[in-house]
Amino acid sequence: MGSQRSSMPSIFYIYRCISSITRNRRYQLHILITIIIYLIIYIYIQVKLIPTNRNSISCKNYSQNLVLNIKEKNESFQILPSVKIYTEQRVILNQSNVINISQETRLRYSFIDIDALNINTNFLDEIYHPSTNFNIKFPSSNSHSYSRLLNMKGNSSTILYNRIPQCYEFTMGLLLKHVSYLHSFTYIPSQIYTPFSYNQTSLISIARSLTNHKYNRLLYERHIYFFDFSNLTFSEHPVWINLVRDPIYRIALDFNNSREICRLTNRCFVNNNTINDTLDKCVLKYPPHVCISQENGVSKMIPFFCGLTHSIKCQDDSTFALKQAKQNIDFFYTVIGIAEEFYSFLYVLEKLFPQYFKHARLIYMNTRDSHQLADNRDVNIQLPNKITIKLLEPYLKDEYELYNYIKRRFLDQYRILTEMDN
Ligand SMILES: *[C@@H]1O[C@H](CO)[C@@H](O)[C@H](O)[C@H]1NC(C)=O
Ligand SMILES: *[C@@H]1O[C@H](CO)[C@@H](O)[C@H](O)[C@H]1NC(C)=O
Ligand SMILES: *[C@@H]1O[C@H](CO)[C@@H](O)[C@H](O)[C@H]1NC(C)=O
Ligand SMILES: *[C@@H]1O[C@H](CO)[C@@H](O)[C@H](O)[C@H]1NC(C)=O
Ligand SMILES: *[C@@H]1O[C@H](CO)[C@@H](O)[C@H](O)[C@H]1NC(C)=O
Ligand SMILES: *[C@@H]1O[C@H](CO)[C@@H](O)[C@H](O)[C@H]1NC(C)=O
Ligand SMILES: *[C@@H]1O[C@H](CO)[C@@H](O)[C@H](O)[C@H]1NC(C)=O
Ligand SMILES: *[C@@H]1O[C@H](CO)[C@@H](O)[C@H](O)[C@H]1NC(C)=O
Ligand SMILES: *[C@@H]1O[C@H](CO)[C@@H](O)[C@H](O)[C@H]1NC(C)=O
Ligand SMILES: *[C@@H]1O[C@H](CO)[C@@H](O)[C@H](O)[C@H]1NC(C)=O
């Protein structure tokens, strides 16, 4: 396993070294083809050699999982010390780069990934001067619908992925780890899991931390509701992306996992009366909407897009929340994939952000065994029974409407891009 983990990065490393030496396009193409052939041979050998226990690392323990992740980074850091100049991500691990920040400041900015983003906290303490110089282009209504759909909606030197719980998180996380390595961009999955919403003062600090990091290209991933940089009077906003999945699958997984985390780690975001229940049992004891509420450890998708400008109204099931969510999606989200079409999602990412996602599909197809490409933790779902689903349906109407809206939009983007390809 160790050798497998270290040989994947070494291929990326060779690719990067060569592509930085030879700027000539034709050479690059030749080298690329050589590398692809090499990859195919390598994968063939790996599939032959390695038994299929890649997904069997038990990661039920959330905090243990985090430590594992960090250890893994540390490990590859030691194996490939020469790579660290190229991969910005690794610079974080150099202890002497960590700024000495007082405990008091850390507490005050506990909602910011200070170390990972390598933020100068003095800057955060300075008074924020709103910008009057807006650099934000909203899609004009008379532009062609294709260009509206495929526009880069923000400055792509920072990508914000406001991850929704239980939407292929593990599959996407591993992929991002690999592509960030391949393309030398910084990928920071936030270590802050809750809350998803913040007041305006805190949001300004978060937004500042994301506009003043020292990285050339950053993909920042965090469970946080959408927030509008222009409403906070920033002159630019980053590119937003996301990934959603069929609501009933997401809810089944969220219900179970919140209880699992509570039982195993005592990090409980659920009503402890329902801690041992399945969703089927819960709807027999309580009204259905209670079982799928935030208080019971099941998050909603709509507020992730409706956002924090109208924070309270966005928490309600309302036509307002749905409408605002759709509007934010149209204005600010360059792409929102659907887990059910994950491969197509990668295709769209490759086309729209080649500097981040080129070869993403190749990597995806080759990092796991061919029987199951997605992470087990993302697909091992026991759906509730038909009666429960029927009971929940009326309460999921808006979630489904938004999901279908996103799905249509995504499939349109996919179709246009494939047509342009042919
Ligand atoms: C979860 O992980 C933490 C840190 O590694 C450990 O202290 C704790 O005992 C673990 N809990 C379980 C239930 O494994
Ligand atoms: C990384 O490795 C160094 C030494 O090899 C060790 O001191 C440090 O604790 C490790 N960091 C993590 C987060 O495991
Ligand atoms: C860490 O960074 C400092 C300068 O920022 C550098 O002098 C030192 O060599 C680096 N350490 C390692 C292990 O790369
Ligand atoms: C960090 O700051 C603390 C107190 O602010 C101080 O005691 C400590 O010596 C500092 N450490 C370094 C490495 O500067
Ligand atoms: C995007 O942001 C980067 C870094 O903040 C900046 O250097 C660049 O000029 C911006 N690009 C555009 C098109 O505004
Ligand atoms: C905003 O929230 C922070 C904590 O995240 C809190 O310290 C601060 O007092 C709040 N500010 C306002 C104006 O409510
Ligand atoms: C931000 O949104 C609020 C609520 O809609 C609005 O009152 C305020 O004027 C907006 N601010 C800016 C700068 O757009
Ligand atoms: C549920 O949690 C509350 C406080 O969080 C505690 O007082 C109560 O005893 C718990 N009930 C059960 C059945 O564990
Ligand atoms: C849940 O199950 C555990 C272990 O079986 C038990 O100790 C606990 O009392 C149960 N809690 C509830 C609320 O039924
Ligand atoms: C709940 O999740 C755990 C581990 O995350 C899994 O072992 C179990 O089968 C799941 N239960 C259901 C009903 O999906």
Q: What is the mean pLDDT of residues 395-418?
A: 97
Question: Which residue type is seen at 323?
Answer: K
Which DSSP letter does residue 137 get? P
Residues in the chain: 422
CA distance linking residue 347 with residue 354, whole number of Å = 10
* Nearest atom, ligand 5, residue 211 CA: 5
Q: Is 95 in the pocket of ligand 4 (CB under 6 A)?
A: no
CA distance linking residue 196 with residue 172, whole number of Å = 20
pLDDT digits (tens, 9 = 90+) for 172-229: 999 999 999 999 999 999 989 889 999 999 999 999 999 988 899 999 999 999 999 9
Collapsing DSSP states into helix, strand and coil, what is residue 220? strand
Q: Where are the domains of the chain?
A: 51-252+296-421
pLDDT at 361 over 80: yes
User: What confidence score (pLDDT) does residue 78 get?
Assistant: 31
Lowest mean pLDDT among 42-56, 112-126, 250-264, 328-342: 42-56
What's the chain's average pLDDT?
82
User: Which is more confident, 320 or 316?
Assistant: 320
CA distance linking residue 81 with residue 85, whole number of Å = 9
pLDDT at 82 over 50: no
User: What confidence score (pLDDT) does residue 138 get?
Assistant: 64
pLDDT at 377 over 50: yes
User: What confidence score (pLDDT) does residue 256 get?
Assistant: 94
Q: Is 131 in the pocket of ligand 1 (CB under 6 A)?
A: no
Quick one: CATH architecture of 51-252+296-421?
3-Layer(aba) Sandwich (3.40)
Ligand closest to Cα of 277 equals 9
* Nearest atom, ligand 4, residue 100 CA: 1
pLDDT at 63 over 50: no
pLDDT at 402 over 80: yes
* Nearest atom, ligand 2, residue 70 CA: 13
| CA 384 from centroid of its chain's CA atoms | 27
Determine how β-strand 155-161 pairs with β-strand 218-221.
parallel
Cβ–Cβ under 8 Å, residues 366 and 43: yes
CA distance linking residue 335 with residue 243, whole number of Å = 8
Cβ–Cβ under 8 Å, residues 255 and 300: no
DSSP characters over 85-99: TT-HHHHTT-GGGS-
Share of the chain above pLDDT 90, in %: 55
User: What confidence score (pLDDT) does residue 251 get?
Assistant: 97
Cβ–Cβ under 8 Å, residues 297 and 254: yes
Please tell me the residue having the least CA distance from ligand 1 atom 2. Answer: 64
Calculate how far, in angstroms, residue 57's C-alpha sits from the geometric centre of ligand 1.
Answer: 14
User: Which is more confident, 334 or 54?
Assistant: 334
Enter the pTM of the model: 0.75
Ligand closest to Cα of 77 equals 2
